[in-house]
Copies of this chain bind each other. A is one copy, B any other.
Amino acid sequence: MPHAVVTQSPEAILQRHLQERGLKQTRQRSLIVSIFLATGGHLDVDQLLATVRRTDPKVSAATVYRTMKLLTELGIAHAQQFGDGHTRYESAVDRHHHDHLICTVCGKIIEFENDRIESLQDAVARRHGFTVVHHKLELYGRCSECAAR
């Protein structure tokens, strides 16, 4: 039999946060969140807006910016900068930490995790008296397909 306490769906988390803050659940917000979560991440605002507009062409960029900012504050999304001038977002729900391999030719982004690297990072920080809150590890290069060309 299924466990009684299941992880809340992102939609439920969103709804709870909205209610707690007296914020409203709107058509636009629901649409943006569901597309954001369905697409899987590393999306920038342009991509998200384009997808959203396939369903509702009247949604504005400002609303997407505002919604993603809200999701970030609520801990549902993480903002990330890969240095191309576009803020990208990925889901923060039911995910543990991971880092990124980024193909500079085709733009492909691969996620990975490596506990030994994490431990070494902690050791380095400790040695310098730092308390690390978060970190960023990005490996830029060519994926196998692009290297083959």
What residues of chain A have their CB less than 8 Å away from a CB belonging to chain B? 81, 83, 101, 103-104, 110, 112, 114, 116-117, 120-121, 124-125, 128-144, 147
Contact = CB atoms under 8 A, between A and B. Distances in A.
Contacts of A121: 117, 137, 139
Given A135-B137, A140-B135, A101 B130 contact: yes
A132 B101 CA distance: 9
Chain copies in the assembly?
A: 2
A104 B125 CA distance: 14
Contact of A136 (B117, B138, B147): B138
Contacts of A140: 132-136
Given A136-B138, A137-B137, A143 B116 contact: no
B141 A112 contact: no
